[in-house]
Each structure stands twice: as C-alpha cells, then as structure tokens.
Amino acid sequence: MRTTITLDPDIAALLEAIMRERGTSFKETVNAALRAGLTAKRGEKRPFVQETHAMGAEQSFRWDKALAAAEAMEDEELSRKLAMQK
C-alpha cells in the first residue's frame, strides 16, 4: 500500500538514525517500526513484586497492630484533655 504520512521532526530524526545504523531503506525502517509497535502485546502487565527490607533482628513494635495503637494513643489524649477541662 502506498500512502503519504507527515512525520514529526523528532520521529524523522529517529528513523534517519536507525536507517544509518542498520543500513536499511526508509520503507524498511518505517515498516519494521510500525510492525514492532503494532504487534507488541498491548496491555501486557508485569507482575507486581513488593520489595521488602529487613528492619533489624528485634522488632519492638507490631506494625500489624499500628491502627489499634494509634486509637489507644488518641483515646488517652482525649481523656487527658477532658480531665483538664474539669
């Protein structure tokens, strides 16, 4: 198929660089670039991997109970403020 396209200057520069590197024609370079872009698996997601870090040999605070600890501290502070108002 023969068609006319208008390339942005940055894309034209990239194509020209690839043409020089590979020694290929404009047609071959454009077709290869379009083929690679259009046949790439669309929406393919890499699996999420959580990075973990050691926090030392002894753990003095149970992070799985952090919300309960925060609630207890907030309750203590509210009790202290209410006691001061009397």
pLDDT by residue for the chain (86 residues), tens only, comes to 888 999 999 999 999 999 999 999 999 999 999 998 888 777 677 788 999 887 776 767 777 888 998 999 999 999 999 999 87
Model pLDDT, residue 9: 95
Q: H/E/C letters for each residue in the chain?
A: CCCCCCCCHHHHHHHHHHHHHHCCCHHHHHHHHHHHHHHCCCCCCCCCCCCCCCCCCCCCCCHHHHHHHHHHHHHHHHHHHHHHHC
The reported pTM is: 0.47
- Rounded to whole angstroms, the Cα distance separating 72 from 22 reads 67
